[in-house]
Amino acid sequence: MRLKSKTPKKYRDESWDYRKADTKPYTHCFHSYPAMMIPQIAGRILDEYAQHFNILFDPYCGTATSLVEANIRGINAIGTDINPLARLIAKVKTTIIPLNLLDNYIEEFNNFILSIKLGKEVNTEIPKFKNIDYWFKKETIIILSTIRYFIEMIKDKDILNFFKVAFSETVRDVSLTRNGEFKLYRMPSKQIEKFNPDVYSMMFKKLLRNRSGMEKYIYIKKNNSASYIYDFNSVYEIPKEIISDESIDIILTSPPYGDSKTTVAYGQFSRLSNQWLCFEKNNEVDKKAMGGFREREYKKFNIEILDETIEKIGEKDNKRVLDVISFYNDYEKSINNVSKVIRKNGIVAYVVGNRKVKGIEIPNDKITVELFKKNGFNYVNTIIREIPNKRMPKKNSPTNEAGKTDNTMNCEYIAIMKKR
């Protein structure tokens, strides 16, 4: 393991930008998702800090970028996420499926599509959820229901999940949501009139693309590595029957940068897919997220830089500051729990962004370091990189007023800590 000893410890390094890199190799090509860590970052951190390590944990694993990169290097991985869609994608991206079996089902699906186009009728069931007609054209609803009928007939669980991932992304792409948005905004009426997606073709192309990614992943993944996906929330606990204290070699993650309501709305992004996939409590992802819609009260954290930032925001808006406090209250609890499972001399790598609230930048990278210091970690360094590829909003509404936006999170910070 090689720990860098650069001076200063926090520095800008353009080699970490990966402006021209292919950020969708292997199973990383499966499904878009907000604020995904690019695989080059995860891979390089593992190469530089995790040589000879055996197990990785990602407490906010999303769609498993860090887990895939760990498995490629022969490192076992554990991930957890509160979003059922993220867990589904993560599971499929890290599960080897025999290509001959996959090819048989893809061919069967193609034949199914042809039979439907030739007039075959099937007893499809249209899902019942609020505003389905608002987000999808009637013809699209019928076709999606027909595809879902085929998927539900699949007996093999891994194949079933593989098809669900392609279906989920198809649902998002054929909906009447505006392109490039994370929250649910409907297209303008003129655009809706012209929008007639070829749903079957889009689904089939995604299956073929994902099949190609799976093939490449099979050839590069180390056979002795595996990933395990869970749904526990690290804010509340890390179950000891899943991860015992001081058992993890490295934590590599990109946590939320703030509450979902004003940063990245993972729940809104996933809602239509979660509804079509019939996941229970599919509308509660943002409520369960850090700083979600729980009781808020003023508090101090005894971390100078965090308390000073909270004070500045509070001077501008004594209600908005409670959202910030609520988030960092949950963030602190999560880091306290995460710190317990790292072994001595283990590494933590948090890839974070510094958002703005009420025009005030929150130094999340420094706050993260200080929270880990309180839990027995030494600070190693922080690498600053620009974000040319990461799919997340370049502007947000720091005042929470309609139409008023500000630049946010154009850089991210890779903070490295080592447990004493």
Q: What is the pLDDT of residue 283?
A: 66
- Alpha carbon of 317 to those of 266, 296, 321, 403: distances in Å? 25, 14, 6, 18
**Please, what sign has the CA dihedral across residues 371, 374, 375, 379?**
positive
Q: What is the pLDDT of residue 394?
A: 47
Q: Are strands 342-353 and 248-253 parallel, antiparallel or unpaired?
A: parallel
Residue ranges in the chain modelled with pLDDT below 50? 6, 394, 396-400, 402-406
Using CB atoms within 10 Å of the CB of residue 232, give its burial: 0 to 12 exposed, 13 to 18 middle, 19+ buried.
middle
pTM of the model: 0.92
Quote the CA–CA distance of 10 and 381 in Å, as a whole number.
6
Q: Note whether 230 and 79 are within 8 A (CB).
A: yes
Q: Is 298 helix (H, G, I), strand (E, B) or coil?
A: coil
User: Which top CATH class is 10-96+224-264+283-419?
Assistant: alpha beta
Q: Where are the domains positioned within the chain?
A: 10-96+224-264+283-419, 99-218
Phi, psi of 413 (to 5 degrees): -125, 125
Q: What is the pLDDT of residue 259?
A: 74
